[in-house]
Amino acid sequence: MTRPAMTLPPDLRTALAELTAAGPILVATDFDGVLAPLVLDPSTSRPIDGSMSLLRELASLPDVFVAIVSGRHLAALRELTDLEPGSDIVLVGSHGAETDRPLPLDATFDDAAQQRLGLATTALEAVAAAYPPTRIERKPAGVVLHTRNVPDDIAAAATRAALAIAIPGVDVMDGKQIVELSALAVTKGSALHALATEFGTRATLYLGDDVTDERAFHVLAGDERNVTIKVGGGETLADFRIQDSADVLQVLRTVLHLRSDPTGR
């Protein structure tokens, strides 16, 4: 059962009020751990009730642009969100390496990138073979080592080995029970910057829970009009912190209310 959402702290509500008054805005969020609670089997993950309808309502408002930015590959993200191609909600997968529409990103998957991906895959497969039962997930532009449901000592050793992989041009990301190697030098932060550029927005709200979201928080920290929110525990660069997906719903409802009625009535 989902617990009742918290009452938003006054400083967070003030920040959201300023954001919604900023003109064209981007509302963006990670998927796992934010819209969808973390589960043991990622294939069973689903958005918390009401989250997708709130995002659709936000996307229907004038000068409000909505995106889901995830480490999931694009096809899986589309299936989990049940969004059709061409939806008002932009999907960004593989930490920015995949998008469902053209964006100003330096993410060309050319022959050199294909070669980097091959080297990264070979290196990570060797780690998985040395540390069973870790497993490998292949993405269009990257490869991921998963350590979920793996004994702690094996997971820690496998993670250290994966993080030690050094291949020129390959980005190594340490996340929650994963290590991802990407053949493209794009991140959630660069994806959010590209979205803001494409839509001409003046401020961005971003909610994330993972280590990989810290790159987005870092990029957005350069503009005080932006609002960044960490979901859950752990060190963070985000401006604010909330507990879980129930609080995410409260944030989205508040943004929808403030944008629909700037007087706050």
The whole domain housing 40 covers 10-106+186-260
Regarding whether 229 and 164 lie in a shared domain, the answer is no
Q: Tell me the CA distances in angstroms from 259 to 19, 152, 202, one per residue in order.
A: 9, 45, 14
Give percent of the chain above pLDDT 70. 95
Regarding whether 253 and 127 lie in a shared domain, the answer is no
- Looking at 182, 204, 230, the residue that finishes a domain is 182
Please report which confidence band the pLDDT of residue 82 belongs to, taking 50, 70 and 90 as the band edges.
Answer: very high
Regarding whether 245 and 221 lie in a shared domain, the answer is yes
| Per-residue pLDDT tens digits for 145-191 | 999 999 999 999 999 999 999 999 999 989 889 999 999 878 899 99
Regarding whether 48 and 95 lie in a shared domain, the answer is yes
**CA-CA distance, 59 to 61, in Å (whole number)?**
6
**CA-CA distance, 153 to 18, in Å (whole number)?**
46
Q: Tell me the CA distances in angstroms from 22 to 16, 19, 173, 260, one per residue in order.
A: 10, 5, 33, 13
Q: How far is CA 155 from the centre of its chain?
A: 23
β-strand pairing of 142-146 with 135-138: antiparallel
Please report which confidence band the pLDDT of residue 3 belongs to, taking 50, 70 and 90 as the band edges.
Answer: low
Strand partners, 194: none
pTM for this structure?
A: 0.87
Regarding whether 59 and 146 lie in a shared domain, the answer is no
Q: Is residue 108 pLDDT above 80, yes or no?
A: no
Q: For residue 3, is it within any domain?
A: no
Regarding whether 202 and 99 lie in a shared domain, the answer is yes
| Per-residue pLDDT tens digits for 114-138 | 999 999 999 999 999 999 999 999 9
**CA-CA distance, 158 to 164, in Å (whole number)?**
10
Please report which confidence band the pLDDT of residue 244 belongs to, taking 50, 70 and 90 as the band edges.
Answer: very high
| Per-residue pLDDT tens digits for 36-78 | 988 777 777 899 999 999 999 999 999 999 999 998 989 999 9
Please report which confidence band the pLDDT of residue 208 belongs to, taking 50, 70 and 90 as the band edges.
Answer: very high
Please tell me whether residue 261 adopts helix, strand or coil conformation: coil
- Looking at 182, 209, 231, the residue that finishes a domain is 182
Q: What's the confidence (pLDDT) of residue 59? A: 97
Regarding whether 177 and 64 lie in a shared domain, the answer is no
Task: Tell me the DSSP string of 172-235.
Answer: EEEETTEEEEESS---HHHHHHHHHHHHT-SEEEEEE-STTHHHHHHHHTT-TT-EEEEESSS-
Q: What's the confidence (pLDDT) of residue 175? A: 85
